[in-house]
Amino acid sequence: MKLSLGFSPCPNDTFIFDALVNHKIDTDGLEFDLHLEDVQTLNNWAKEGKLDFSKISYGVLPRILSEYCVLDSGGALGMGVGPLLIASNPMAAEEVHAHQIAIPGVDTTAHLLFSLAYPDAKNKEFVVFNEVEDFVKDGKGLGVIIHENRFTYQKRGLVKLIDLGDYWEKTTHAPIPLGGIVAKRNQPFKLLKKMNNLIRNSIEYAYIHHKDQLAEYVKMHAQEMEEEVMRQHINLYVNNFSFSLGDKGKKAIFQVLDVYNNLHAENQISKESIFAAELQTVA
């Protein structure tokens, strides 16, 4: 059976999926039509229902729940792993709304967290995540950075105004839900369960076989990133929540829906049947 699968070329995703898509583990007859894209492209595709399985930002989850459910493994959540708001120079919090702000995608979790912290900031420009630093460096405004840019912005003389993840943690008392793996709801429950277990097995393989030496698959997609930055990236975003959401992870996702519902009073989203494990009645 061939399934369409999408995830980003970032080190945390390629680290997680390497063993699965390159058949380093037994895939139990599954083959993959693979798509490596930036997260906003994957978010847009999820809104179109394009892929069977996909990495998405949790910021887009409320918009796709009618067609997708969330798998228990493969996601990126944690404490101290959230996006940062950066600038060329320090400034007071009340000045932020007066500036243009580059954000890595309208449906990203970064946008959701920024909106929670700065509900009055409306001057937004949505760009690909790796364009945000240049936006700020070129004097166009402020920027919300994610992924490996957390480790590079200071080298370019930029400063942090606020850790949006830290703001989320203090406000919600939940881990930061950055991205997760979603599956089409119309697939058999046995397939959803199998895919979830395979992703977990793929992560286990990566930790056993690539603890000291990164897989070539990770390096080839890392866009000339320094190996130390790749390792920092993986260590930050691949953790126990990647193996299983657990109760804390699920609480964080419920918090995303709460924030979304507070921001969109006209379009309330139900918290029922979010997770694949709740769909055991699927034929």
Tell whether the model's pLDDT for residue 128 goes beyond 80: yes
- Do 268 and 134 lie in one domain? The reply is no
Arithmetic mean of pLDDT, 107-114: 88
Which pLDDT score is estimated for 224? 62
Strand extents, DSSP E, 92-171 = 101-103, 124-126, 142-145, 159-163
Interval 205-217 mean pLDDT: 90
Same domain? For 160 and 197 the reply is: no
Are 117 and 139 part of one and the same domain?
Answer: yes
One domain, residues 237 and 261: yes
Chosen domain end from 129, 154, 172: 172
Is 100 in the same domain as 216?
no
Q: Count up the domains in the chain and report the number.
A: 2
Closest CA to 73 of 246, 281, 278: 246
The residue out of 153, 172, 191 marking a domain boundary is 172
CA dihedral over 245, 177, 161, 128, signed as positive or negative: positive
The model's pTM: 0.84
pLDDT value at 283 more than 50: no
Do 100 and 164 share a domain, yes or no? Answer: yes
pLDDT of residue 43: 92
Name residues whose C-beta falls within 8 Å of residue 231's C-beta, 6 or more positions apart in sequence: 214
Sign of the alpha-carbon torsion through 79, 82, 88, 93? negative
- 274 and 144 assigned to the same domain: no
Q: What is the mean pLDDT of residues 29-52?
A: 95
Please give the Cα distance from 268 to 251 (Å, whole number): 18
Q: DSSP letter at 5? A: E
Q: Is the residue at 123 inside a domain?
A: yes
The per-residue pLDDT for 49 is 97
The domain that holds 118 is classified in CATH as 3.40.190.10
> Is 147 marked active-site?
yes
Task: Tell me, yes or no, whether 283 lies in a domain.
Answer: no
Mean of per-residue pLDDT scores for the chain: 91
Name residue, tokens 């400034």. 91
Whether residue 59 is found in the same domain as residue 187: yes
Residue 16 among known ligand-binding residues: no
Confidence of residue 282 (pLDDT cuts 50, 70, 90): very low
Instruction: Indicate if the pLDDT at residue 197 is higher than 60.
Output: yes
Q: Would you say 56 is a known binding-site residue?
A: yes
What is the residue range of 220's domain?
2-78+176-278
Do residues 13 and 60 lie in contact, with contact meaning Cβ atoms separated by under 8 Å?
Answer: no
- pLDDT, tens digit, 9 for 90 and up, residues 238-281: 999 999 999 999 999 999 998 888 877 777 888 888 998 877 64
Q: Lowest mean pLDDT: which of 95-99, 146-150, 153-157?
A: 146-150
Q: What is the average pLDDT across 105-123?
A: 89
| Last residue within a domain, chosen from 142, 172, 202 | 172
Of the residues 35, 99, 111, 147, only one is catalytic, namely 147
Same domain, 26 and 112: no
Judge if 193 and 252 occupy the same domain. Answer: yes
User: Does the annotation place 108 within a ligand binding site?
Assistant: no
- 242 belongs to an annotated ligand binding site: no
Q: Which residues contact 167 (CB under 8 A, 6 or more apart)?
A: 82, 113, 116, 117
Is 15 within a domain? yes
- Scan for tokens 């709460």, then name that residue: 258
Same domain, 139 and 21: no
Average pLDDT over residues 62-77: 95
55 assigned binding-site residue:
yes
More confident of the two residues 43 and 262: 43
Please tell me whether residues 62 and 103 are part of one structural domain: no
